């Protein structure tokens, strides 16, 4: 099955509104003629609405970096799914390792967030990945299996169709280290086989699985040449228009 490549940029806690708009204007110019690749960017919350307005008429999708599962209430500092829909978000990133590591998110809270996002019509980029210690101890597959099972618990076939899974080995995020294409492919294939066992071959073959972790213009082509790697969730390299655009245009390399 042919799956549409999907490159998403996670800006994390970077860019003021003005800086975000400057970057988006550059991106639109660089990516004007790109076809057959879906592109999304995830600015910080403060820039979402302004970026949404700047993206109007563009094929670039808007994503948020997180959400809370309640619709409203006394949850100081949180943002609901409907708030993200209102400012033009199409995707939301859920379960990123930094959210798990620094803010105490668990497989259970990730699952609640995913269900809330899907319930309001947002598509989800669901992150999984192991630490260096877990990889060295041979626990990569058991960790990823647990995260996928926990994150997707209670979701049916119609719901998982709106999920993109991002495999991000934590030891490769922002470190300059990248899993080899073969290492990444091995885990991507494992995830797809797990989805087939949980749902069906048709569902598993239709779900896109991105790779994340120090993705650059230099390594994107080798990663995308792998059978089960359908795109990339890009961190630091998404903060510069020219660099991110080269990653998006991997087919031209």
For 95-145, the pLDDT digits (tens) are: 999 999 999 999 999 999 999 999 999 999 999 999 989 998 999 999 999
Q: Are 239 and 23 in contact (CB under 8 A)?
A: yes
Is residue 136 annotated as part of the catalytic site, yes or no? no
What mean pLDDT comes out for the span 185-209?
Answer: 97
Q: Which residues of 145-156 are buried (b: 16+ CB within 10 A; e: fewer)?
A: eebbebbbeebe
- Phi/psi class of residue 94: alpha, beta or left (left: φ > 0; alpha: ψ in -120 to 50)? beta
Average pLDDT, the chain: 96
Q: Are 161 and 202 in contact (CB under 8 A)?
A: no
Number of residues assigned to the chain: 253
DSSP 60: P
Q: Are 216 and 210 in contact (CB under 8 A)?
A: no
Q: Which of 209, 202, 251 is nearest to 229 (CA)?
A: 209
Q: Are 83 and 89 in contact (CB under 8 A)?
A: no
What pTM does this model have? 0.96
Q: What is the Cα–Cα distance from 21 to 35, expressed in whole angstroms? A: 23
Please identify which of the residues 54, 130, 134, 168 carries the catalytic annotation.
Answer: 168
Give the sign of the dihedral formed by CA 129, CA 132, CA 135, CA 139.
negative
Please identify which of the residues 96, 98, 105, 185 carries the catalytic annotation.
Answer: 96
Q: Report the pLDDT value the prediction gives residue 176, as an integer from 0 to 100.
A: 76
Whether pLDDT at 175 is above 80? no
Q: Report the pLDDT value the prediction gives residue 1, as an integer from 0 to 100.
A: 66
Is residue 168 annotated as part of the catalytic site, yes or no? yes
Q: What is the Cα–Cα distance from 138 to 131, expressed in whole angstroms? A: 11
């Amino acid at each position: 099955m042919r799956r549409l490549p999907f490159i998403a940029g996670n800006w994390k806690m970077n860019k003021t509104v003005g800086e975000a708009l400057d970057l988006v204007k550059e991106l639109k110019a660089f990516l004007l003629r790109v076809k057959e690749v879906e592109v999304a960017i995830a600015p910080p919350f403060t820039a979402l609405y302004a970026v949404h307005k700047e993206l109007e008429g563009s094929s670039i999708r808007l994503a948020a970096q997180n959400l809370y599962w309640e619709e409203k209430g006394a949850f100081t500092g949180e943002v609901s799914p409907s708030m993200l829909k209102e400012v033009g978000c199409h995707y939301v990133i859920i379960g990123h390792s930094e959210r798990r590591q620094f803010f105490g998110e668990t497989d259970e809270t990730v699952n609640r967030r995913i269900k809330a996002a899907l319930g309001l019509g947002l598509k989800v980029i669901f992150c999984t990945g192991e630490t260096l210690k877990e990889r060295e101890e041979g626990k990569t597959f058991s960790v990823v299996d647990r995260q996928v099972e926990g994150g997707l618990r209670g979701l049916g076939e119609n719901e998982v169709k709106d999920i993109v899974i991002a495999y991000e080995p934590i030891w490769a995020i922002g470190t300059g280290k990248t899993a080899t294409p073969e290492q990444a492919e091995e885990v991507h294939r494992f995830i797809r086989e797990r989805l087939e066992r949980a749902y069906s071959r048709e569902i598993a073959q239709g779900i896109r699985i991105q790779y994340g972790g120090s993705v650059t213009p230099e390594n994107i082509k080798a990663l995308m040449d792998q059978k089960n790697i359908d795109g990339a969730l890009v961190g630091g390299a998404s903060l510069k228009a020219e660099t991110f655009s080269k990653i998006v245009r991997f087919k031209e390399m």
